[in-house]
Amino acid sequence: MFEVLVYVYENYWRGDACPEPQQLGRKLTAVGFEADEIQEALRWLDGLHLASHKPEQQPGTLPALPANSTLALPATDSLRVYSVAEQDHLGAECLGFVSFLETAGILAPSMREIVLDRAMAASGNPVTLDDLKIIILMVYWSFGEEPDALVLDELCDDASDRVAH
Protein backbone atom coordinates (compact mmCIF):
# COMPACT_ATOMS: atom_id res chain seq x y z
CA MET A 1 0.00 0.00 0.00
CA PHE A 2 2.76 2.46 0.86
CA GLU A 3 4.29 2.21 -2.62
CA VAL A 4 0.92 3.30 -4.01
CA LEU A 5 0.75 6.22 -1.55
CA VAL A 6 4.25 7.36 -2.53
CA TYR A 7 3.25 7.22 -6.21
CA VAL A 8 0.14 9.31 -5.50
CA TYR A 9 2.17 11.82 -3.46
CA GLU A 10 4.78 12.17 -6.20
CA ASN A 11 2.31 12.45 -9.09
CA TYR A 12 -0.45 14.63 -7.67
CA TRP A 13 0.95 17.78 -6.14
CA ARG A 14 -2.03 18.30 -3.78
CA GLY A 15 -4.83 16.21 -2.39
CA ASP A 16 -7.43 18.19 -4.30
CA ALA A 17 -5.53 17.57 -7.57
CA CYS A 18 -5.95 13.82 -7.16
CA PRO A 19 -8.62 12.23 -9.38
CA GLU A 20 -11.72 10.50 -8.01
CA PRO A 21 -11.09 7.03 -6.53
CA GLN A 22 -12.40 5.07 -9.56
CA GLN A 23 -10.28 7.03 -12.02
CA LEU A 24 -7.28 6.90 -9.70
CA GLY A 25 -7.73 3.14 -9.39
CA ARG A 26 -7.66 2.77 -13.18
CA LYS A 27 -4.53 4.91 -13.44
CA LEU A 28 -2.79 2.90 -10.71
CA THR A 29 -3.74 -0.34 -12.45
CA ALA A 30 -2.31 1.01 -15.71
CA VAL A 31 0.95 1.85 -13.93
CA GLY A 32 1.20 -1.75 -12.75
CA PHE A 33 0.17 -1.83 -9.09
CA GLU A 34 -1.56 -4.96 -7.78
CA ALA A 35 -5.34 -4.78 -7.32
CA ASP A 36 -5.23 -5.56 -3.59
CA GLU A 37 -2.61 -2.84 -2.99
CA ILE A 38 -4.73 -0.36 -4.92
CA GLN A 39 -7.91 -1.21 -3.00
CA GLU A 40 -6.12 -0.93 0.36
CA ALA A 41 -4.59 2.42 -0.64
CA LEU A 42 -7.92 3.76 -1.93
CA ARG A 43 -9.67 2.82 1.34
CA TRP A 44 -6.85 4.47 3.28
CA LEU A 45 -7.03 7.62 1.12
CA ASP A 46 -10.80 7.75 1.58
CA GLY A 47 -10.29 7.71 5.36
CA LEU A 48 -7.67 10.44 5.01
CA HIS A 49 -10.05 12.55 2.94
CA LEU A 50 -12.81 12.15 5.52
CA ALA A 51 -10.51 12.98 8.43
CA SER A 52 -8.82 15.96 6.80
CA HIS A 53 -12.06 17.59 5.64
CA LYS A 54 -13.78 17.77 9.01
CA PRO A 55 -13.98 21.48 9.95
CA GLU A 56 -12.49 20.84 13.39
CA GLN A 57 -9.48 19.10 11.83
CA GLN A 58 -8.33 22.01 9.71
CA PRO A 59 -4.90 23.22 10.86
CA GLY A 60 -5.17 26.26 13.08
CA THR A 61 -8.89 25.87 13.75
CA LEU A 62 -10.69 24.61 16.77
CA PRO A 63 -14.15 23.11 17.00
CA ALA A 64 -16.95 25.46 17.98
CA LEU A 65 -17.90 25.03 21.62
CA PRO A 66 -21.35 25.74 23.01
CA ALA A 67 -21.63 29.06 24.82
CA ASN A 68 -22.18 27.35 28.17
CA SER A 69 -19.30 24.89 27.70
CA THR A 70 -16.76 24.52 30.48
CA LEU A 71 -14.18 23.00 28.13
CA ALA A 72 -11.01 24.99 27.75
CA LEU A 73 -8.48 25.11 24.96
CA PRO A 74 -5.62 22.64 25.40
CA ALA A 75 -2.77 24.08 27.42
CA THR A 76 0.60 24.31 25.76
CA ASP A 77 1.95 21.90 28.34
CA SER A 78 -0.87 19.36 27.92
CA LEU A 79 0.03 15.73 27.40
CA ARG A 80 -1.31 13.28 24.81
CA VAL A 81 -1.80 9.87 26.39
CA TYR A 82 -1.57 6.97 23.95
CA SER A 83 -3.81 3.94 24.34
CA VAL A 84 -2.31 0.48 24.66
CA ALA A 85 -3.52 -0.32 21.14
CA GLU A 86 -1.75 2.80 19.79
CA GLN A 87 1.42 1.93 21.66
CA ASP A 88 1.38 -1.63 20.33
CA HIS A 89 0.54 -0.68 16.74
CA LEU A 90 2.90 2.28 16.45
CA GLY A 91 5.77 1.26 18.67
CA ALA A 92 8.15 3.45 20.63
CA GLU A 93 10.14 4.66 17.61
CA CYS A 94 7.08 6.03 15.78
CA LEU A 95 5.55 7.57 18.91
CA GLY A 96 8.89 9.20 19.68
CA PHE A 97 9.06 10.65 16.18
CA VAL A 98 5.52 12.04 16.45
CA SER A 99 6.45 13.58 19.80
CA PHE A 100 9.60 15.09 18.28
CA LEU A 101 7.63 16.69 15.43
CA GLU A 102 5.00 18.00 17.80
CA THR A 103 7.44 19.53 20.29
CA ALA A 104 9.37 21.09 17.40
CA GLY A 105 6.17 22.84 16.32
CA ILE A 106 6.03 20.99 13.02
CA LEU A 107 2.96 18.87 13.67
CA ALA A 108 -0.10 20.66 15.04
CA PRO A 109 -2.27 18.66 17.47
CA SER A 110 -5.11 18.43 14.93
CA MET A 111 -2.73 17.04 12.30
CA ARG A 112 -1.17 14.71 14.89
CA GLU A 113 -4.58 13.17 15.50
CA ILE A 114 -5.07 12.57 11.79
CA VAL A 115 -1.59 11.05 11.55
CA LEU A 116 -2.41 8.73 14.46
CA ASP A 117 -5.78 7.82 12.97
CA ARG A 118 -4.27 6.97 9.60
CA ALA A 119 -1.35 5.12 11.20
CA MET A 120 -3.81 2.99 13.16
CA ALA A 121 -5.62 2.24 9.88
CA ALA A 122 -2.38 1.12 8.21
CA SER A 123 -1.24 -2.45 8.06
CA GLY A 124 1.90 -3.56 9.83
CA ASN A 125 2.35 -4.26 13.48
CA PRO A 126 4.15 -2.20 14.52
CA VAL A 127 4.10 0.43 11.80
CA THR A 128 7.64 1.17 10.66
CA LEU A 129 9.14 4.64 10.97
CA ASP A 130 9.50 4.87 7.18
CA ASP A 131 5.80 4.08 6.77
CA LEU A 132 4.91 6.66 9.42
CA LYS A 133 6.90 9.28 7.53
CA ILE A 134 4.86 8.51 4.41
CA ILE A 135 1.67 8.88 6.45
CA ILE A 136 2.84 12.28 7.73
CA LEU A 137 3.64 13.41 4.17
CA MET A 138 0.21 12.26 3.04
CA VAL A 139 -1.49 14.21 5.84
CA TYR A 140 0.34 17.38 4.78
CA TRP A 141 -0.56 16.55 1.16
CA SER A 142 -4.25 16.18 2.03
CA PHE A 143 -4.27 19.74 3.41
CA GLY A 144 -2.46 21.07 0.33
CA GLU A 145 0.56 22.00 2.42
CA GLU A 146 4.21 21.19 1.98
CA PRO A 147 6.35 20.86 5.06
CA ASP A 148 9.36 23.10 5.57
CA ALA A 149 12.36 22.04 3.43
CA LEU A 150 14.28 20.67 6.43
CA VAL A 151 11.24 18.73 7.61
CA LEU A 152 10.67 17.42 4.10
CA ASP A 153 14.29 16.30 4.01
CA GLU A 154 13.84 14.47 7.32
CA LEU A 155 10.65 12.80 6.12
CA CYS A 156 12.16 11.71 2.79
CA ASP A 157 15.69 10.90 3.95
CA ASP A 158 16.81 7.30 4.36
CA ALA A 159 18.36 7.33 7.84
CA SER A 160 20.08 3.98 7.26
CA ASP A 161 22.62 5.72 4.99
CA ARG A 162 23.67 8.17 7.71
CA VAL A 163 27.06 7.84 9.35
CA ALA A 164 27.35 8.70 13.02
CA HIS A 165 30.09 11.19 13.85
Residue 113's H or E segment, with its range, is: helix 109-121
Q: In the predicted model, is pLDDT for residue 3 greater than 60?
A: yes
DSSP labels, 121-144: HSSSSSPPHHHHHHHHHHHHHHTT
Is the Cβ–Cβ distance between 89 and 127 less than 8 Å? yes
State pLDDT tens for residues 107-122: 888 899 999 999 999 9
Distance CA 101, CA 29 (A): 35
Q: Please state, in angstroms and as integers, the Cα–Cα distance from residue 16 to each residue in 35, 60, 65, 125, following that order.
A: 23, 19, 29, 30
For residue 87, which amino acid is it?
A: Q
Whether 108 is covered by a domain: the verdict is: yes
Distance CA 120, CA 88 (A): 10
Distance CA 140, CA 145 (A): 5
Q: How many domains does the chain have?
A: 1
Whether 136 is covered by a domain: the verdict is: yes
Range of the domain at 11: 2-61+80-161
Per-residue pLDDT band for 159 (boundaries 50, 70, 90) equals low
What burial class does residue 55 get, using C-beta atoms within 10 Å of its C-beta: 0-12 exposed, 13-18 middle, 19+ buried? Answer: exposed
Whether 11 is covered by a domain: the verdict is: yes
Whether 71 is covered by a domain: the verdict is: no
Per-residue pLDDT band for 123 (boundaries 50, 70, 90) equals confident
